[in-house]
Structure 1
Amino acid sequence: MSLLVVGLSHRSAPVSILERASLPADTQAKLLQDSLAAEPAAEATVLATCNRIELYADVDKFHAGVAELSTLLAQHSGVGLDELTPYLYVHYEDRAVHHLFSVACGLDSMVVGEGQILGQIKDALALGQDLHTAGRLLNDLFQQALRVGKRAHSETGIDRAGQSLVTFGLEQLAQGTDVDGWARGKRALVIGAGSMSSLAAATLARAGVAEIVIANRTLARAERLAEILTEPGGTGVAARSAEMVAVGDELGRADIVVSCTGATGLVLTGDAVEAAAEGRDEPLHLLDLAMPRDIDAAAHRIPGVRLVDIESLADASADAPMAADVDQVRGLVADEVAAFGAAQRAAHITPTVVALRTMAADVVASEVARLEGRLPGLDDKQRAEITQTVRRVVDKLLHAPTVRVKQLASEPGGAGYADALRTLFDLDPETVASVSRADLNDADVKNRGRV
């Protein structure tokens, strides 16, 4: 295993850098394809959220891998390498596993304990699978990260340590007031119809807003989200859709605006916000969850407007969460990292063991064939008994060393046992490689069905 992650997040970079470095979906795909085209990455996938961009890869050289992945991140993000480098972090092998498992549990989130990151990790794995850039290592890693994250939320109190980014943002808008009481009866405008916007709309509906307007570039998606909110068994809120060209008019009627789109430029300019705020009796509350930002930061200075964005959320989330819950999750992560490392080290030697047993089976078949040539008078029963006896002898001779070598290989520093086994038995490297390729193909098919 040579797992490498190079990335930046709200912990390492200011929002201004994260905004500029954000990767649209098509750019993420190109980044992964270029990562495999350039050595030394054998497989890769990218985890890109509103407050982190991380490139995961299986590499054969650490320093070359860091240099190549850093360069590719700079090229595709549009931020110069010299400017980006001070904000990049690097994790390798077990530390990279520990990092992703911590991310999956919400320990590295802006709001500690939030669960949305699990969906984003699932999306990152699906992208790598769809583009065939995620192989056995990253499939195993991300599948296990999802399981670890689910364990953290089901077996610990990490959920109490923080809320989703949407809930946390609304709490900041409410300024200490109960969100349900604060939002009740207000009109809400949600810009965007993706997962974060859908969560925001559902949260506002449960909080008791009087009306929700969904605006999106693709009107059909806005209409579908509005239908979900109003259909039987849904939230029961009055909801309707709107085209993006109508956002300016809807802004003037809204009390609460949540925006989270994939736009590369501003969705709401300072002038538009100022026009909507003019002559109002009640403040205009804006929550910008997009990266890069949807709402002009100049709105902070407009009278009668309260804007909460990713930058202000980062400042507000500095309060310490429940230490006991966090410590419990950290212990869980440490145990899972150790188990994952042992499993990967054991799996590393499996192709060598399979190749050894295949060679032994070939030797048995060859010797039995030679014996048949020298003793042509053997009947079928005698031939079967001799063949079975030779196989039992070979199996017994190989059983203890192959079981023991798997145990030793699963321990830290055990990677060398596969090399020793190949050298001692003079195994053909191509035979071992062919077993690895077949195992990888089987794992890919199986894992794609589990996402």
Structure 2
Amino acid sequence: MSVLVVGLSHRTAPVALLEKVAVSGDALTKLLHDVQQDEHVAETMVISTCNRVEVYTAVERFHAAVNAVTRLLSAHSGVAEEALTPHLYVHYEDRAVQHLFRVACGLDSMVVGEAQILGQVRQALKLGQQEGTVGTTLNELTQYALRVGKRAHTETGIDRAGASLIGVGVELAETVLGGPIAGSRALVIGAGSMSALTAATLVRAGVTDIVVANRTFDRGLQLAQSVGGRAVEFGHVARELAGADIVVSCTGAGRLVITADMVAAAMRGREADRPLFLLDLALPHDIDPAVRLVPGVTLVDLESMQESGVGSATRDGGRRAAIEAAERIVDEEVAAYLEAKRAARVTPTVVALRSKAAGVVEAELGRLAARVPEMDRRMRDEVAQTVRRVVDKLLHEPTVRVKRLAAAPGGDHYAQALRELFDLDPMTPEAVSRADGPERGMPGGRAAGGQVTDLE
């Protein structure tokens, strides 16, 4: 089974298109199952964030699967295939592994090095596990990718070199407001993980007056209490705009939460020289882009961040060094992963060879016992031990060598040669069951079917 990824991101598509293709909630679950049910797809996982939508699949046939995923992305988004296809990228087998590892490390993010992507990859895996669309191949690969991402962030400091979208937003707010935002009043709309991170970032920046508005009041209250702020009903957003200096919205509502008329009314009720900074982290937009026409208002959204090159990898030397170190980790881990996968593919063949040899030994010992019944038990045991030892010694070097050779590109030919020479069936129940476990050779030593628990 091979891994295929079909997707689009801020690197290949305008935010307006990403906005149409983005899926969440029930729509994400439906896309998962629709892709999974296609005859050319065995496993499915979808990563959908504010700047990427990627469908990962385990497939047998490349072209048929690419066509199926493209067709379903078009159907779910309402974007015609001819309009969608030019913005899609496709990675297969080794390139798909490398791409997921780079994504998990934050190397493919709009703000290079942002740490939130690790949690988003983990959430994608969990959803696939819960919905039954992730099997051995994607589970194994994604758990490994999470470990690679964690290693990159721990060893390189890339998350410090590349600030998160929220951190960048705070820097821009300070520029607009004319200095540090400590003492400012902030309105946070939404109470999800991104909103919680926003509130925590604002507190660290010295903002002590934080108002949280959420469709579910209790969740908004919980977030507000965690940062020493206050919660308001979602319907009071328009009223709270008038007193805010900073507004950050990330609701996933799929519709406009703040309109130009709401902002214009809020600005009429405040000092003429008091600017308002709005940060829209939602996809689709929470805030109407037309608010930019209101005097004194600055709106930063994902599209404007994309156009201004926020998170560029060339901002400073220290950042470049961290990124280069993370890239080296990715290259090293990709090589290790692929080597282990290739070596693991030969395991059923080796098991089948040893099982066949053991069967021959037992059959011959049985014939010997029938032909020489006068042999006492001690003699039979000694002969049996000697024969088994000879067979083990004869098989040891070939099996060690075939495992080593199989780890190299093209190594499957050696396993095929063994199967042909000894007439082996690596799909026998014994060969499969003995090869299917933590000892399969995958780095990390986790069983293939394990749930995500060690990185939560």
TM-score (structure 2 length as normaliser): 0.90
Call closer, same or farther: CA 1:277–1:101 in 2, change over 3 Å.
same
Does the CA-based 8 Å contact 1:261-1:294 persist in structure 2?
Answer: yes
**Aligned residue identity for 2:220:** A
- 1:440 is displaced (CA, Å) by 6.7
* Farther off after superposition, 280-289 or 124-133: 124-133
The alignment-based identity, stated in percent, is 57
Structural RMSD (CA): 2.2
* CA separation of 1:194 and 1:386: change in aligned 2, threshold 3 A: same
Identify the residue that residue 11 of structure 1 maps to in structure 2. Answer: 11
Decide which of 247, 253, 272 is 1:263's aligned counterpart: 253
Q: Distance in 2 between matches of 1:202 and 1:381?
A: 75
AA partner of residue 405 (structure 1): V
Per-residue deviation at 1:433? 9.4
2:441 alignment partner in structure 1: none
- Say which of 285, 292, 303 aligns to 1:293: 285
CA drift of 1:34 comes to: 2.4
Q: Is 2:42 the partner of 1:42?
A: yes
Measured after TM superposition, the shift of residue 299 of structure 1 is 0.9
Output the CA distance in 2 between the equivalents of 1:440 and 1:134: 17
CA 1:67–1:275: 2 relative to 1, 3 Å: same
How far 1:257 sits from its partner (Å)?
Answer: 0.9
Shift of 1:437: 9.7
Paired position in structure 2 for 1:235: none
Task: Note if contact 2:136-2:449 (Cα within 8 Å) is conserved in structure 1.
Answer: no
Alignment of 1:369-448 (within 5 A): 369-428=366-425, 430-431=427-428, 435=432, 439=436, 443-448=447-452
Give yes or no for the alignment of 1:249 onto 2:239: yes
- The CA deviation string for residues 163-196 of structure 1, in whole angstroms up to 9 with x for no partner, is 0110111212222778xx5322221111111111
Alpha-carbon distance in 1 for matches of 2:433, 2:408: 21
CA contact (8 A) 1:3 1:92 kept: yes
1:234 aligned partner: none
Is 1:450 aligned with 2:448? Answer: no
Query: Mind listing any 5+ residue stretches in structure 1 that lack a counterpart?
Result: 231-238
Please give the secondary structure, in 2, of the residue aligned with 1:182: coil
Q: Distance in 2 between matches of 1:24 and 1:404?
A: 48
Letter aligned with residue 450 of structure 2: K
Displacement of 1:223 after TM fit?
A: 1.8
Amino acid at match of 2:284: P
Q: What is the aligned partner in structure 1 of residue 205 from structure 2?
A: 207
Conserved? CA contact 2:4–2:92, under 8 Å: yes
1:16 is paired with a residue whose SS is helix
Whole-angstrom distance in 2 between the partners of 1:385 and 1:348: 36
> 1:253 is aligned with what amino acid?
G
Give the whole-Å Cα distance in 2 for the aligned partners of 1:45 and 1:414.
29
Between the aligned partners of 1:26 and 1:268, the Cα distance in structure 2 is 24
In the aligned structure 2, how far is the partner of 1:412 from the partner of 1:355? 22
Corresponding residue for 1:196? 194
Query: In structure 1, what is the equivalent of residue 347 of structure 2?
Result: 350
> How far apart, in 2, do the equivalents of 1:407 and 1:113 lie?
35
Asked if structure 1 preserves the Cα contact closer than 8 Å seen for 2:347 and 2:435, the reply is no
Q: SS at 1:184's partner residue?
A: coil
2:313 is the counterpart of 1:315: no
Q: Tell whether 2:183 aligns with 1:185.
A: yes
| Residue 62 in structure 1 maps to residue 54 in structure 2 | no
Deviations 1:55-103 (A, max 9, x none): 1112111111211121122222332222211110011111111111111
Query: What is the TM-score with the length of structure 1 in the denominator?
Result: 0.91
Q: SS in structure 2 opposite 1:427?
A: coil
Contact map agreement 1:215 1:222 (CA 8 A) in 2? yes
Tell me if 1:229 matches 2:227: yes
Q: What is the match of residue 442 of structure 2?
A: none
Does the 8 Å contact 2:351/2:435 carry over to 1?
no
For residues 83 and 197 of structure 1, the distance between their equivalents in structure 2, rounded to whole angstroms, comes to 33
Does the alignment pair 1:94 with 2:94? yes
In the TM superposition, what is the alpha-carbon distance from 1:432 to its structure 2 partner? 6.8
Amino acid at match of 2:164: S
Quote the Cα distance in structure 2 between the aligned partners of 1:15 and 1:129.
29
Q: Distance in 2 between matches of 1:205 and 1:393?
A: 71
After superposition, the C-alpha distances for 1:133-169 in whole angstroms (9 at most, x for unaligned) are 2222222221222222222222224234320110111
Q: Measured at CA, do residues 347 and 305 of structure 1 come closer, stay the same or move farther in structure 2, by a change above 3 Å?
A: same
Output the amino acid matched with 1:45: M
- 1:105 aligned partner: 105
| Structure 2 segments unaligned to the other structure (5+ residues) | 439-445
Measure the CA separation in 1 of the matches of 2:433 and 2:62.
22
Q: How far did 1:263 drift?
A: 0.9
